[in-house]
Structures are given as structure tokens and as C-alpha cells.
Amino acid sequence: MSDLDATTPRVFLVRHGETEWTKNGRYTGITDIELTPVGINQVTATGTLLVGPGKLIDSAMIARVWVSPRKRAQHTCQLIFSGAEDIADKITLTEDIAEWDYGDYEGLVVGEIRARRKEKGLDGEREWSIWRDGCEGGEYFSPMLCRGRFLDGCSQRLANW
């Protein structure tokens, strides 16, 4: 990595590894699901490949790490940085980047959600879309979008540290 690249501010997004619910397509938001052994291997391999001196993510160059408070996200963070020193004081748990609140659809697959909505007389002319219709008892796209704006303010947040 060139010296210029090493000093350029960057933001990396890391999604948690596999869980039982991601394996079978269940919507997983606020439910605290652990990583599967495969998920642990996925994250460990990613950390080995990407994190360390001279690699894409050099922990010595990290200013902040924001992590969802969900166990799967925290475990992912722990595994990604398992060989890194002095990272713990840079980690902040925040709901600002937490997963979507799927409300009544938490733990369901798309077919189950569409069947429930059909029984209620919803979506008569078109099938349910999370982006357009949101989640009963949970979030719609706009609150999720506001949390996504968290990234817009990363440079300001870093300037305040």
C-alpha cells in the first residue's frame, strides 16, 4: 500500500457471518442470533485476509469502529480484529447502524410474509416489497434510511474524536 493510500480516510462496512436464520432466508433484525460455525469461519477468514500490518485494514491506522449491539455483529468484530492490538478502545456499540426492525416479520421468510399479508387483504394488486411496503409492527424504509445517513456523518464524527 502506498503512503498516500495509507493516509486516505476510508470507511469499511463488514456484515456479520452466517447465522441459522441467514442460512434459510429468515428476516433477522433485533433477534440476537449467534453466528454458526460456518459464519465464524467466514469472518475469521475475512479477518486473516484483510486485517493486519500492510493489509487493506491496518488496525494501527483505525480511528473508530462502530458496531451494532447485536451479538452476531459484536462477535464478527471480535473475530475480524482477533490479532489486532489496541483496538478495543476504538470500538463503539451503537443502534445507529443496527439492523432493520422487521416487527411482525421477524424470523419469517418472504413466502410466509406474503401469505400473511394476503390473508389480511393487503397487496391485492402487487406482491409485498420491503422497500416499498416496510414491515408491520416494525420499520419502513425511511427510518432505516435515516440510520444509513450515519455513514454520511462519519467524517464529522472522526473529526470530533
Catalytic residue set:
16, 99
Question: SS3 for the chain, per residue?
Answer: CCHHHHHCCCCCCCCCCCEHHHHCCCCCCCCCCCECHHHHHHHHHHHHHHECCCCCECHHHCCCEEECCCHHHHHHHHHHCCCCCCCHHHEEECHHHCCCCCHHHCCCCHHHHHHHHHHCCCCCCCCCCHHHHCCCCCCCHHHHHHHHHHHHHHHHHHHCC
